[in-house]
Amino acid sequence: MTYQNIEFSLSQGIARVALNRPDKLNSFTSEMHRELADALDQVESQGARVLVLTGNGRGFCAGQDLSAKEMSADKVDLGDTIEKYYAPLVRRLHALPMPVLVGVNGVAAGAGANLALAGDIVIARQSASFIQAFCRLGLLPDTAGTYVLPRLVGRAKAMGLSLLGDKLSAQQAQDWGLIWECVADEDFDARLDELARHFASAPTKGLAYTKKALNESLGNTLDQQLDLERDLMRELGNSHDYAEGVAAFLERRPAVFKGQ
């Protein structure tokens, strides 16, 4: 597929996807969704060890492009749009067997805000912001917004963000635990690259299983989680990366992980 609405590259284990409709603040159309889904196919099939997701221009993503032709009043069914595009996208990001590193370069609004929060490690420029804009349109936070917000910031803050639709600064998002790190604008690109390189050389399988265990813990009992940890640790204990990590520790040298 030739991409018109995103940019995609994969080199040295680092897959990079940049939403690329800067004149529309990278808001989604159906074609952009299809391109992103195709890029994720490449991420899964070509040996990537980390996915970096960001946006071009002054915005990360403004959510759904309400001016797109498929959103005309006589055609749109928002439930179908969620089921066809946004829900599968969130599920895929959660299921990817590698860290998903999101760099929020500017405003993240509506579905764009919750797309960012679907990442595993989220960093943002200090000048960026997050807006749950749905209430201004008579809607509710989709793209798993109603799932992640109360889990990340608690019920009171989740209600305030969702019912008021106020802008949340990147610094406040970090202070509330909504994202991992707020970064000075001039340091943002370097920090994103630093984290990408770190994950590309890390023990990918162990990170993937850590991600899986943390995600499943939200719906597990203590006993179920202990059993899951046992099963995953048993498999990781037989992995190349565990053997390499132990050998490197004993030999006092840097480990060379293969992600296996």
Residue 74 banded pLDDT, cuts 50, 70, 90: low
Domains and CATH numbers, the chain: 6-200 (3.90.226.10), 204-251 (1.10.12)
CA distance 118 to 145: 9
What's the pLDDT at 76? Answer: 75
pLDDT surpassing 90 at residue 200: yes
pLDDT above 90: percentage of residues in the chain: 94
Phi, psi of 177 (to 5 degrees): 85, 20
pLDDT surpassing 60 at residue 170: yes
pLDDT surpassing 70 at residue 116: yes
The distance in angstroms from the start CA to the end CA of the chain is 29
pLDDT surpassing 80 at residue 69: no
pLDDT above 70: percentage of residues in the chain: 97
The residue count of the chain comes to 260
Mean pLDDT score of the chain: 96
What's the pLDDT at 70? Answer: 65
Q: Are 106 and 55 in contact (CB under 8 A)?
A: yes
What's the pLDDT at 33? Answer: 97
Residue 188 banded pLDDT, cuts 50, 70, 90: very high
CB pairs under 8 A, 24+ apart, for 140-145? 141/114, 142/82, 142/86, 142/111, 142/114, 143/82, 143/86, 143/87, 143/89, 143/90, 143/111, 143/114, 143/115, 143/118, 144/87, 144/90, 144/114, 144/117, 144/118, 145/113, 145/114, 145/117
**Model confidence pLDDT, tens digit, residues 90-99:** 999 999 999 9
What's the pLDDT at 75? Answer: 64
Looking at residues 102-126, what average pLDDT do you find? 98
Looking at residues 47-56, what average pLDDT do you find? 97
CA distance 130 to 147: 16
What's the pLDDT at 67? Answer: 85
Q: Any idea which of 10-14, 76-80, 113-117, 215-219 has the lowest mean pLDDT?
A: 76-80
pLDDT surpassing 90 at residue 73: no
CA distance 90 to 112: 11
